Structure 1
Amino acid sequence: MLAPVRPAVPRRILIPLIVACALFMEQVDSTVITTSLPAIAAALNDDPVALKLALTSYLLSLAVFIPASGWAADRFGARTVFRSAIVIFTLGSILCGLSTSLADFVLYRIIQGMGGAMMVPVGRLVVLRSVPKSELVGALAWLTIPALLGPVMGPPLGGFITTYFDWRLIFFINVPIGILGIILATRFIENVREEDVPPLDLRGLVLSGIGLSGLVFGLAVLGQHLVPYWMAAGVTLIGAIALGFYVRHARRTPHAVIDLKLLRIPTFRAAVVGGSIFRIGVGAMPFALPLMLQLTFGLSPFASGMLTFVSSAGALVMKTTAAPILRRFGFWRVLVFNSVLSSAFIAANALFTPETPQLAIAAVLLMGGFFRSLEFTALNAIAYADVTQQEMSRATSFVSVAQQVSLSMGVALVGMVLEYMRSGRPGKVLELSDFTPAFVIVAAVSALSIFSFLRLPRDAGAEMSGRGKPEAKPDTLPDPRGEVNAGS
């Protein structure tokens, strides 16, 4: 087996890039099939509406298996689990490309979700344990790229491949990326693990699995109206009840699979609670904006995808400015003021009309992508500012679960608003006026995150932003580079 070697590129850049490539594969794959469902349904001789199960099954798999990822990384090593996650995800991709029925396709999407559930939080954990806190802002900035590019690139990429090639290629292109990720992880990532690992909280895993899967599935079908309302509401209620039992269980369990005690840390609580509220509006964007551009502007899926891709350019520009901005203004100011500014850019989508110059639309999307990416970078960093190394794996699992649920809630919320707006219309055809309240409502929800950020101390995350240099604490993350990367 290849042993980790000293890279020519600094670890603070190389490791985040390796992890980001894997996360990008997962993020693209989770959205790439949305424009390809009719072609997949025709190939599998099934109804396109029934193919929506492939989307919800993937979300369910993520929600169920993410909580166990932190324990697995501590028990077997972050590199081992991260590498295994890539293998499972790649295998699931191959099987999806070979599917011959709806049942096969749904099952293989669940396998993909198992790999994705481990790949996302453990990949973030690899970075957190490989890069010192003083360099985390710059390192974590790279990890926001998959979250920003994936949902934007997925639909146009899926439409392009399906139109000009074959839908099965959507899944087969993951194979070379997965193989490369396995090789790079083996050579450059250390297999860091915890010495004293408590037993897995099986009861908590079952309760959280039922609760999260019920909540995610219920919210997803509420937003998309795939099943009767009473059934969706019932599933959501079951999920909420199970989560209530989990909260009771977690308070009595020393090593709960989702450690609610972490919410006692002000910076972590603000990142989870405020970040989840903020991501509701962001989660609605990849669903609502292409829908508006295609159904009311008359743009093709590929054309609308190329236009929305501009927001990713703004996110990329931000990568070179995030650290200086946080160093200049600090986390408190950035999170508070930028949450409102980013929400305003989400609301600005309500002003678009078919007569609006595409250059103006692109400019708004470019700036919106910049400020949303800045908020993501600040949130991803501040979440771990005061988390000890022993708590790090549980913290990454917690954050990943919160992100998945909040993004799903964004899609559900904007879907419910659009459904309500067209409910009294013959044929239920969506019109441009339906999107105005949808964008305004989700933007207003995102702006509510300011109340969580306002409660943060003014000097929160000073060590990470470079605005302060507090004395090192024995329970904080050590600099793992040692002499190996001393010259980086």
Structure 2
Amino acid sequence: MSEPYILTPRIARVLPWLVAVAFFMQALDGTILNTALPSMAHSLNEDPLRMQAVVIAYLLTVALLIPASGWIADRFGTRRVFLFAILLFSLGSLFCALSPSLGELVLARVVQGLGGALMMPVGRLVILRVYPRSELVRVLSFVTIPGLLGPLAGPTLGGWLVEYASWHWIFLINLPVGLLGFLFAIRLMPDLRGATRSRFDGPGFLLFGGAMILITIALEGLGELHMPHVRVVLLLVGGLVLLTAYWLRALRIETPLFPPSLFQTRTFAVGVLGNLFARLGSGALPFLTPLLLQVGLGFTPAKAGMSMIPLAGMAMLIKPLAKPILDLCGYRRLLVGNTLLLGALIAGMGLIGQNTPYLWLLVHLGLLGAVNSLQFTAMNTLTLIDLRDDNASAGNSLLSVVMQLSIGLGVACAAALLGGFNADFEGAAADVLGAFQATFLSVGLMSMLAAAIFFQLSSDDGRSAQVAVPVTAQGGMTDH
């Protein structure tokens, strides 16, 4: 175990910048890619409607490794793990830029995801451990600002890079930033370890991870991989069996990966399950919308990226209003109504066509961004608000995993629907645009069903605690 860490004034000033830059790299990478997918598909001789594996591979890798990130940092030290994470992320970015085929690009995204899954949780863990509680809110608020700027800059920057350079540069720009981060981390990142050597639930980790991989591959099999339905069913059943085995194991051991007792807190149970199903729709938006604009409507990459600005911009502007709205409406009324509205707006994207005024498209995307942001803030605050101190960390980790997995599953579901509708519409007039419209309608209706979960709240749930936008120790802002 390392000696107690003494935070010097110089490191206290600079350390948040280091973690903030790491967060910005991860947040930017999560959004800059979507606008470039059609150009990447053309370069790799692939169908633009079958590029979701590039997105899902990263999200799934991050989700699977988040539960182990804290244990890894305690075991090997925060400095060593953080440096290794930056190196992996940067190497993964280089491999992505050099990939000559879709398969190699997906493998490179897995390497990138391994780095991303360690970089932010470990950076956030250091912040939590070295700063006094009186400074924590200020430091964490500063660190999360880049996470909001990343989705704002990502689609626009990605569109411009693709149109005026090439898609390879969306990955290559990570290399100089990663090099600077690595050099600064050598000097500034504290080397902290856990006070006690905790035991990691390795079998539980393998069961849970295996279940998520099998379920995701099954959904991918309906879309990009075009697997026979028998194989898809076998994968789904296998994933559900592993998930059941994990749950039964968690009920009988003392230190499971995610304690089942978390679900005895009703607001947590409703919040996590609501997150899972509500994000299936909203998580697909960053993937579906740039494809609709470029493949369905014929926008250039730069115009498609610029068109995404209202979506991210309104998401930021609505943040200060989240607390007053929650105080006024309460969680039950807000989440039921907002979920239905969010689903209706997603379904409304299915009405966008060649004759839709561009201004109306921007207004629609702006409304979608505001409602989506309010939904995330309310869902995630509800999930964590009633947890006790002794299980807050595990609950927060599970929420982070569910968020990443639900976005990946949402992309897989949307891609499967898009592929299916595209086959149905093939040969008809405006077949690709029709497939997009049917997919948005289906995804919107699917999202509206999550309102039934939030309807199980009572009118007083969440009222006893102070409403705030929570910040996770595992993966950044919970609405990212």
Contact 2:49/2:415 (8 A) holds in 1: no
> Is 1:450 matched with 2:451?
yes
Question: What TM-score do the two structures reach when normalised by structure 1?
Answer: 0.78
> Is 1:419 matched with 2:422?
no
| Residue 281 of structure 1, CA deviation | 0.8
| Residue 398 of structure 1, CA deviation | 1.3
CA distance in structure 1 between the aligned counterparts of 2:361 and 2:236, rounded to whole angstroms = 36
* Deviation larger for 218-227 or 420-429: 420-429
Please name the residue that 1:376 is paired with: 376
Contact 1:63/1:212 (8 A) holds in 2: no
Q: Mark the CA change 1:213 to 1:178 in structure 2 (over 3 Å): closer, same or farther.
A: same
Please name the residue that 1:486 is paired with: none
Please name the residue that 1:460 is paired with: 462
| Residue 362 of structure 1, CA deviation | 0.8
CA distance in structure 2 between the aligned counterparts of 1:384 and 1:185, rounded to whole angstroms = 31
Matching of residues 130-209 of structure 1 within 5 Å: 143=144, 146=147, 150=151, 157-179=157-179, 181=181, 194-209=194-209
| Residue 312 of structure 1, CA deviation | 0.8
Please name the residue that 1:24 is paired with: 27
Please name the residue that 2:477 is paired with: none
| Residue 431 of structure 1, CA deviation | 4.1
Deviations 1:143-166 (A, max 9, x none): 59748954x865664453244224
* Deviation larger for 118-127 or 433-442: 118-127
Deviations 1:220-258 (A, max 9, x none): 332334544444443333222222221222222222223
Please name the residue that 1:248 is paired with: 248
CA distance in structure 1 between the aligned counterparts of 2:79 and 2:332, rounded to whole angstroms = 33
Matching of residues 27-46 of structure 1 within 5 Å: 27-28=30-31, 31=34, 34-38=37-41, 41=44
Contact 1:281/1:442 (8 A) holds in 2: yes
Q: Mark the CA change 1:284 to 1:107 in structure 2 (over 3 Å): closer, same or farther.
A: closer
Contact 2:33/2:155 (8 A) holds in 1: no
CA distance in structure 1 between the aligned counterparts of 2:118 and 2:133, rounded to whole angstroms = 23
Matched position secondary structure for 1:255: coil
* Deviation larger for 304-313 or 93-102: 93-102
Q: Mark the CA change 1:37 to 1:294 in structure 2 (over 3 Å): closer, same or farther.
A: closer
Deviations 1:270-314 (A, max 9, x none): 221111111011022223323333333232233223213321111
Contact 1:144/1:377 (8 A) holds in 2: no
CA distance in structure 2 between the aligned counterparts of 1:5 and 1:440, rounded to whole angstroms = 55
Once the two structures are aligned, what percentage of the paired residues are identical? 32
CA distance in structure 2 between the aligned counterparts of 1:379 and 1:145, rounded to whole angstroms = 22
| Residue 53 of structure 1, CA deviation | 5.5
Please name the residue that 2:222 is paired with: 222
Paired amino acid for 2:442: I
| Residue 390 of structure 1, CA deviation | 4.2
Q: Mark the CA change 1:171 to 1:416 in structure 2 (over 3 Å): closer, same or farther.
A: closer
CA distance in structure 2 between the aligned counterparts of 1:326 and 1:185, rounded to whole angstroms = 39
Matched position secondary structure for 2:298: coil
Matched position secondary structure for 2:118: helix
Q: Mark the CA change 1:127 to 1:265 in structure 2 (over 3 Å): closer, same or farther.
A: farther
Paired amino acid for 1:376: F
Matching of residues 81-100 of structure 1 within 5 Å: 81-82=81-82, 84-99=84-99
Please name the residue that 1:391 is paired with: 391
CA distance in structure 2 between the aligned counterparts of 1:133 and 1:326, rounded to whole angstroms = 26
Q: Mark the CA change 1:449 to 1:185 in structure 2 (over 3 Å): closer, same or farther.
A: farther
CA distance in structure 1 between the aligned counterparts of 2:397 and 2:26, rounded to whole angstroms = 15
Paired amino acid for 2:235: V
Paired amino acid for 1:391: N
Q: Mark the CA change 1:307 to 1:278 in structure 2 (over 3 Å): closer, same or farther.
A: same
| Residue 373 of structure 1, CA deviation | 0.8
Matched position secondary structure for 1:321: helix
CA distance in structure 2 between the aligned counterparts of 1:209 and 1:60, rounded to whole angstroms = 9
Contact 1:82/1:122 (8 A) holds in 2: yes
Matched position secondary structure for 2:284: helix
Paired residues, number: 463
Unaligned runs of 5+ in 1: 467-476, 478-488
| Residue 38 of structure 1, CA deviation | 3.5
Deviations 1:172-219 (A, max 9, x none): 211333355567778888777653453111111221221111112222
Contact 2:218/2:235 (8 A) holds in 1: yes
Contact 1:223/1:411 (8 A) holds in 2: no
Q: Mark the CA change 1:95 to 1:408 in structure 2 (over 3 Å): closer, same or farther.
A: closer
CA distance in structure 1 between the aligned counterparts of 2:443 and 2:100, rounded to whole angstroms = 38
Unaligned runs of 5+ in 2: 474-480
Please name the residue that 1:238 is paired with: 238
